[in-house]
Structures are given as structure tokens and as C-alpha cells.
Amino acid sequence: MMRATVIYGTALAVLLALSWWQWTAEPEVDRGDKVELLAGKAEAITEIRWTGKKNESTLTRRSDAVGPYFWVDYTRWTQKPVLKTQGEEEDGSPIEPTPPERVAKQSVFKASDKAEELLKSLSPMLALRRLDVTGPDKISEIGLDVPEATLEIVRGDSTQVLDIGGEAYGSRHIYVRRRSDGQIYLVERELLQNLKYARSRLADHSLVGTARKDVTRAVLTAEGETLEATQRNPHDAAKAVWVLASDPENAPEQLTTWMAQALKLKGMRYADPAAPPVDLESRLTLQLFDAKGRSETLELLQVGQSGDWYARSEHTRGLVKVVRSAAKSLADDVGSVIESAD
């Protein structure tokens, strides 16, 4: 009897343990008919590096008082034109042509929400299929004798490295080789495009992190004057209007138009932190609040009286160049907008 009790008790403990494991375990990724190329969690990734023949990009996880974000250092390589050489050396031999010079154009920017999607697509990273490729001729045929690029994914103390080869005929999917064991896979082309074209695909062009529909109150300051307004019907773009905080019955049309343009303003490219523009002058600030009282401040600046325009906020984490015509229009009209509140 005692023996049976022990057996049943042990079996019950095992079942309870299995149930607890099944309840707490992370759900498995639905791989469909794909195969796992790289394992790992998205939150463990601290850095991703793409090194190609024409461009290089490093995506780094960062955090500050505002919260976590991703920063990209990007380099575009071009070849400086070489003048044709004519004539002969003193010994009569032809002058050897000067080899082309590679020129680096560097830029930095904050990544958009697509960075999070990218990390998830690499965690795990799935391939369409695993290939049995042998022989130097076949390796050369798929572009892995001299890879087009390398992809490095840093997760904690380990770095996963992939060699990026050529495109498969017809589908344009990409051949990749896992550096750790030499295994070759075929992956979907789109999976690598955000890294290959990071500057155009990952850059965050928004200047504020609060969506228009979530903005409940704004404080506009310019030319020594201040205007406070609140937004009505914020969740209906067609009916949304801005009213004066001091006079809720007063909803100047010019104020609503100006706020709509200000919240649509986008960044073009980030200024170089190592060589920022000089003689910047603040033209206006716009402080935005949401229903929970959280705020962020957008500042519009200009180089001197007639130079380029820039913007910055807690969201951008840096100085961003903006379209001159749009920024100038906002600055030119701000005085009359504030006067309309009087």
C-alpha cells in the first residue's frame, strides 16, 4: 500500500510539473514549412551590424530618461571619379591608372518602430529551406565564394554571423551561410532589405512621439508670447478643432490650421552630432500634452536669419533638418496665430 502511494504521488508530482511547464513556457513560433536558421530572443539583441560593398549600418539598442530606442550609424560608399591618365613613364612604359578611391558618406538617425519588427523577424530567424551545397563551383554560383555582405547579430555575449550571397534565379530570394557551421540556407529577400537599405527604410522621420489623436492640450511660445489651447474631437480628424484654453468657445480657424500643419511636420535627415550646425536660433516651441498629463516639447530652430531649419524634441533625441518651406511657413504665421487669441 505504501509503495502504491509513493508511485501515485510521484506520478502526480510529474504531471503537475509538466502542467506548470506547459502553462509558463513561451508559445512556440509557428514555423509553417520554414526552418530555423538562427535562434534567440528579440529582447536579447543589443546590436545588429550589416557590412556590404556599398553600404554599412549598425543598429544599436539605447535607452535614456525618455525610454528605450534604436540608433543607426550608416555609411554609404561611393567611388571618386578617376581622371584618365595619358602619356608614358620616363622609360617609355604606359602610366599605370590610379586606382579608384572609395569615399564614405556617413549619417546617423533614430530608427522608427520598424526596428522592433526587424528584431522580431530575426528571433528566431527563419529560412525557406536548408540547402546541401558542395563544391567551389556551386558556392561561386550562388555568390558565397566572395559574399555580398555580412550580417552580425549581437545577443548578450554571443555574436551570430551570416555571409550574404546572391539572389536565387526567378524568386530573388537570398542565399546565406551560417558562419558557425557553414550551413547554407535560402531566405526571403524582404527579410534583409531593411538592413541593406537602412537609411531609407528604418529612419524615423517623425518629430514627436505623441499621435495627433492623443494630443489634448498644447502650449505655443514664440516671439515672447504664449498661447495655450486644447483639442476637441481629437479622435475624429474631420471634426477636430483647437480652442483657446482661456475661452473654450473661441476656436480660431487659423489656430486649427496651424496646429494641423505643425503636427504634420516631418524630419528630413539628422544633423551630424560631431559637427552640428552653428548659429542656431530658436523660432518657436510647441509643448504637447496627452490625457495622462505626459508632455513633450518640439522646438523649431533656424541657422541665422535666412539659413536652414532644424527641429528637436525628446522623441528625436537629436537635431533633425526639416523642409525649409514648411518650417518657414509655420514661423511666419505664428505671430498672427497668437494674435488671433487676443
Judge if 101 and 187 occupy the same domain: yes
Higher pLDDT among residues 104 and 85, named by residue? 104
* pLDDT band at residue 220 under the 50/70/90 scheme: very high
Flag whether pLDDT at 87 surpasses 80.
no
Answer yes or no: is 18 within a domain: no
Residue 84 has pLDDT above 70, yes or no: no
Q: Give the 3-state secondary structure of residue 97.
A: coil
The answer to whether residue 88 is domain-embedded is: no
- Tell me, yes or no, whether 166 and 270 share the same domain: no
**3-state class (DSSP) for residue 136:** helix
Higher pLDDT, 88 or 266: 266
Write down which residue in 180, 201, 222 finishes a domain.
201
Of all residues in the chain, what percent carry a pLDDT higher than 90?
75
The whole-number pLDDT of residue 18 equals 40
Residue 119 and residue 68 share a domain: yes
What average pLDDT score do residues 287-291 get? 96
| Whether residue 255 is found in the same domain as residue 295 | yes
**Given this model, what pLDDT does residue 5 score?**
54
The predicted pLDDT at position 334 comes to: 95
Residues 226 and 186 in one domain: no
Split at pLDDT 50, 70, 90, the class of 83 is: low
Q: Are residues 108 and 175 in the same domain?
A: yes
Domain assignment present for residue 5? The answer is: no
> In the structure, what pLDDT confidence band is assigned to residue 311 with cuts at 50, 70 and 90?
very high
Q: Considering its fold, how many domains does the chain have in total?
A: 2
Instruction: State which of 201, 236, 268 marks the end of a domain.
Output: 201
179 is a domain residue: yes
User: How many Å separate Cα 1 from the centre of its chain?
Assistant: 66
Identify the weakest region by mean pLDDT among 21-35, 61-75, 216-230, 268-282.
Answer: 21-35
Same structural domain, 273 and 172: no
From 144, 166, 201, the end of a domain falls on 201
pLDDT of residue 13 exceeding 80: no
Average pLDDT over residues 83-93: 63
Check whether residue 57 and residue 120 sit in a common domain.
yes
Which pLDDT score is estimated for 181?
94
**How would you class 105 by CB atoms within 10 Å of its CB: exposed for 0-12, middle for 13-18, buried for 19 or more?**
exposed
Distance CA 260, CA 183 (A): 53
More confident residue, 207 or 22: 207
pLDDT in tens, 19-54: 443 333 333 344 668 999 999 999 999 999 999 999
Higher pLDDT, 342 or 240: 240
Do residue 54 and residue 186 come from a single domain? yes
Q: Is residue 190 part of a domain?
A: yes
Domain that holds residue 260: 212-339
Grid coordinates of 145: 565564394
Residue 75 within a domain: yes
**Distance (Å, whole) CA 254 – CA 232:** 15
Q: 197 with 216, same domain?
A: no
**Range scoring the smallest mean pLDDT among 47-61, 95-109, 276-290:** 95-109
Asked if 124 and 191 sit in the same domain, the reply is: yes
Averaged pLDDT, 124-129: 96
- Note whether residue 8 is domain-resident: no
What is the Rg, in whole angstroms, of the alpha carbon atoms belonging to the chain?
Answer: 29
pLDDT at 15 over 50: no
Is residue 280 over pLDDT 80? yes
Confidence class of residue 56 from pLDDT cuts 50, 70 and 90?
very high
Q: pLDDT band at 92, cuts 50/70/90?
A: low
Least confident range from 30-44, 200-214, 311-325: namely: 30-44
What's the pLDDT at 179? 96
Whether 190 and 139 share a structural domain: yes
pLDDT of residue 245: 93
**Which of 289, 297, 298 has its CA nearest to residue 267?**
298
Q: Is residue 9 part of a domain?
A: no
- Strands (E) located in the chain: 35-38, 45-52, 55-63, 68-80, 101-110, 125-127, 129-131, 149-155, 158-167, 174-178, 184-187, 215-222, 225-232, 241-244, 267-270, 280-290, 295-303, 309-312, 320-322
